[in-house]
Amino acid sequence: MKPWLPLVTYLSLAAVAFFMPEYSKTIATIVFFMALGQAVNIFVGLTGYVDFGYVAFMAMGAYGLGVVLYYMPQLGFAALPLGLALGVLMSILLAAVVGGVALRLRGAYFAIATIGVNEGVKHLIIGANIWGGGAGLILGSRAFEAFGRDTALWLANVGSAVLVIATGFMAVVAMYLIQVSKAGYALAAIRQDEDAAKVMGINPTKYKLLAFMTSASLAGLLGAAYYPLGNLQVFPENVFFIEYILDGLAVMFIGGAGTVTGPIVGGALYIIVRTVVGELLPGYQVFVTALVLMTTVILLPRGIVGTLRLHLPPKLREWLP
Amino acid sequence: MALLVKNLESGYGKLKILFDVSLKVEEGSIVTLLGPNGAGKTTTLLTTFGVVKPWSGSVYLGDVDVTHLPPHKKVDLGIALVPEGRRLFPEMTVVENLALGAYVKRARDKVDDTLELVYGLFPILKERRWQKAGTLSGGEQQMLAIARALMSRPKVLLIDEPSAGLAPKVVESIFQALKQLRSEASVLLAEQNAGVALEICDYGYVLENGQIVLEGAAGDLANNEHVKKSYLGV
């Protein structure tokens, strides 16, 4: 497997976002869906499990950076790496807790067990009135205090876009590292027959948890890049917006579950469809999402890249992971 | 002693399946576990292997108590299972299935040697090595399942009903291959087909309603009245 095509794609997008700040926001919006599909793919694509509480990981990332910026703006620039680290850490911890318990269940049972996680964490924050509670965290003035006005605005615009792209980039690297290592073999076996994998001496829970935590940490980074950094606010209603997991699944399935390039293709196509529908039939975007998802799963179960790979000679297939 | 099972009891939920099952497999021997449908043959193998948790009793591999180890640790220590129904990875090629069999580190270092060994045992697998496992015939699939288990370099191989659904001629050739295994691993074989099993094994146990009701050397069992009547149909 040669990961250069997706890596170069993300690098070029980052370059455009960096050198042409006027396009940063647009690029960030597009790449957000690619990176989301990419992160979802590491768990869903590699294990064959679906997590309906997935958006909670993005929320953890958003709150990590949000909380540090809101309560400790006096840290200055250190608030950024510290907040990102805290966000990723909280995502991983949540994944460890949810996964440690629920990943012992099989397929559909796991999906059902995770449904409540997203709403549960959201209502914990609102109900206990922690981290701004239902009113959320408004970070504009705090970011100005921490980074200075101009830098804060640059970070919200260009910085956030670059970080969203970097998340996609890191997801490709993670996917590559997993697939060339023995974890890739173990996950392939688990996906096809979990009991048989066990008989081979594979510990399924360990590898499912590995994929789950990796995926969650990337989702957390994405949440941090998009809400507190990009929008300078963290509202529970936004960061726990359950539809994002449907978006992530749609992007992944359109592109091709388990493929590395798939989410880039899927994300681009998905944005185009949604934009066109938004222009022609405003308000019907979510309806169309469901429609697109069903059509893909039925007509093109391997997704665009997955199907394309089937018809490529092995040499070229290497280049379209 | 390669494998020792002592007073094993287990079951599913509240339902007890195994009652005080004890058996042993000597080094380099083939031991068969006979019994009708529902007697607990598969449960004995699964409990020994750790897929089903033992309620009481113990399992020793050599001198090591492995009773409560999960399956993946048991594979590491040298027990392998050929599950009922073969459970191959149908979308993977023969070679990929074999490579996964050598998943544990101990076996991975010797993967080339072991491949030679299993290809020697089942030459047809070498011919078919680039074919997807799902496209093999039933007999070839059973051979692959056994070969895949051997890839982990087990000291003890547990095999569950290798003759199920196969033509007598194919069963014969698989059992002839099992006979050659003696030098590589000790075998505990669960079978309904008593005729072929008693031909190749050294020792046998008869399991009925979750209890061992009879045991003995293969020749003695073949001449036993109860075995003759119930299992050999003479």
In chain B, the residue whose alpha carbon lies closest to the alpha carbon of A187 is: B100
> How much is the average pLDDT of B89-103?
94
Is the CB of B87 less than 8 angstroms away from the CB of A193? yes
Is the CB of B99 less than 8 angstroms away from the CB of A195? no
Spell out the SS3 assignment of chain A: CCCHHHHHHHHHHHHHHHHCHHHHHHHHHHHHHHHHHHHHHHHHHHHCCCCCCCHHHHHHHHHHHHHHHHHCHHHHHHHHHHHHHHHHHHHHHHHHHHHHHHCCCCHHHHHHHHHHHHHHHHHHHHHHCCCCHHHCEECHHHHHHHHCHHHHHHHHHHHHHHHHHHHHHHHHHHHHHHHHCHHHHHHHHHHHCHHHHHHCCCCHHHHHHHHHHHHHHHHHHHHHHHHHHHHCEECHHHHCCCHHHHHHHHHHHHHCCCCCCHHHHHHHHHHHHHHHHHHHCCCCHHHHHHHHHHHHHHHCCCHHHHHHHHHCCHHHHHHCC
Q: Does domain B3-87+155-232 have CATH number 3.40.50.300?
A: yes
> How much is the average pLDDT of B142-150?
96
Question: Do the bridges between strand B30-34 and strand B203-208 make them parallel or antiparallel, or are there none, so unpaired?
Answer: parallel
Amino acid letter at B196? V
Alpha carbon of B106: minimum distance to chain A alpha carbons (Å):
11
Alpha carbon of A115: minimum distance to chain B alpha carbons (Å):
27
Q: What is the pLDDT of residue A6?
A: 92
3-state class (DSSP) for residue B80? strand
Q: What is the DSSP letter of B183?
A: T
**What are the beta bridge partners of residue B10?**
B18
pLDDT at position B225 over 80? yes
Burial class of residue B182, CB neighbours in 10 A (0-12, 13-18, 19+): middle
Q: What proportion of chain A, given as a percentage, has pLDDT over 90? A: 79
Choose the closest CB to A195 out of B75, B80, B87.
Answer: B87
Residues 7-66 of B with CB under 8 A from A: 49, 51
Residues in chain A closer than 8 A to B75 (CB atoms) = 199-201
Helix (H) or strand (E) holding B191: strand B186-191
Q: What is the DSSP letter of B122?
A: -
Give me the interface pTM, i.e. the ipTM.
0.79
- Cα(B75)–Cα(B106) distance, integer angstroms: 10
How many other C-beta atoms can be found within 10 angstroms of the C-beta atom of residue A214? 23
Domains of chain B: which residue ranges?
A: 3-87+155-232
In chain A, the residue whose alpha carbon lies closest to the alpha carbon of B91 is: A192
Is the CB of A201 less than 8 angstroms away from the CB of B75? yes
> Which residues are CB-neighbours of A235 under 8 A, at least 6 positions away?
A136, A227
- Report chain B's mean pLDDT, rounded to a whole number: 94
CA-closest candidate to residue B181, choices B149, B208, B209, B139 = B149
Is the CB of A199 less than 8 angstroms away from the CB of B49? yes
How many other C-beta atoms can be found within 10 angstroms of the C-beta atom of residue A158? 21
- Edge-to-edge strand list for the sheet holding B203-208: B79-82, B156-160, B186-191, B30-34, B203-208, B211-217
Contact B18/B10 with Cβ under 8 angstroms?
Answer: yes
Alpha carbon of B91: minimum distance to chain A alpha carbons (Å):
8
The pLDDT confidence band at residue B204, using thresholds 50, 70 and 90, is: very high
Q: What proportion of chain B, given as a percentage, has pLDDT over 70? A: 100
Residues in chain A closer than 8 A to B88 (CB atoms) = 193, 196
3-state class (DSSP) for residue B137? coil
Domains of chain A: which residue ranges?
A: 4-242
Answer whether 0.90 is exceeded by the pTM: no
Contact A62/A94 with Cβ under 8 angstroms?
Answer: no
Among A279-288, B5-14, B169-178, the minimum mean pLDDT is found in A279-288
Choose the closest CB to B104 out of A193, A198, A201.
Answer: A201
Is the CB of B92 less than 8 angstroms away from the CB of A192? yes
Check if B87 contacts A (Cβ < 8 Å): yes
**Measuring CA to CA, how many Å separate A278 from each of A270, A288, A289?**
12, 10, 12
Q: Among A194, A200, A206, A302, which would you mutate to test the B interface (most chain B Cβ atoms within 10 Å of its Cβ)?
A: A200
CA-closest candidate to residue B66, choices B83, B78, B82 = B78
One digit per residue, pLDDT tens: chain A, 321 residues?
889 999 999 999 999 999 999 999 999 999 999 999 999 999 999 999 999 999 999 999 999 999 999 999 999 999 999 999 999 999 999 999 999 999 988 888 898 888 889 999 999 999 999 999 988 999 999 999 999 999 999 999 999 999 999 999 999 999 999 999 999 999 999 999 998 999 999 999 999 999 999 999 999 999 999 999 999 999 999 999 988 998 999 999 999 999 999 999 999 999 999 889 989 988 888 888 788 888 888 999 999 999 999 999 888 888 899
In chain B, the residue whose alpha carbon lies closest to the alpha carbon of A203 is: B72
Task: Specify whether the backbone of A61 is left (phi greater than 0), alpha (psi in -120 to 50) or beta.
Answer: alpha
> How much is the average pLDDT of B141-160?
96
Alpha carbon of B125: minimum distance to chain A alpha carbons (Å):
19
Check if B152 contacts A (Cβ < 8 Å): yes
Q: What is the pLDDT of residue A315?
A: 87
Alpha carbon of A202: minimum distance to chain B alpha carbons (Å):
5
Is the CB of B72 less than 8 angstroms away from the CB of A198? yes
Is the CB of B80 less than 8 angstroms away from the CB of A199? yes
For B8-72, give the DSSP string: EEEEETTEEEEEEEEEEE-TT-EEEEE--TTSSHHHHHHHHHTSSPPSEEEEEETTEE-TT--HH
Residues in chain B closer than 8 A to A201 (CB atoms) = 71-72, 75-76, 103-104, 152
Is the CB of A201 less than 8 angstroms away from the CB of B89? no
Structure tokens at A277: 């529908």
Alpha carbon of B80: minimum distance to chain A alpha carbons (Å):
7
- Cα(B127)–Cα(B8) distance, integer angstroms: 42
Residues in chain A closer than 8 A to B149 (CB atoms) = 199
- Cα(A15)–Cα(B68) distance, integer angstroms: 55
CA-closest candidate to residue B62, choices B189, B155, B183, B159 = B155
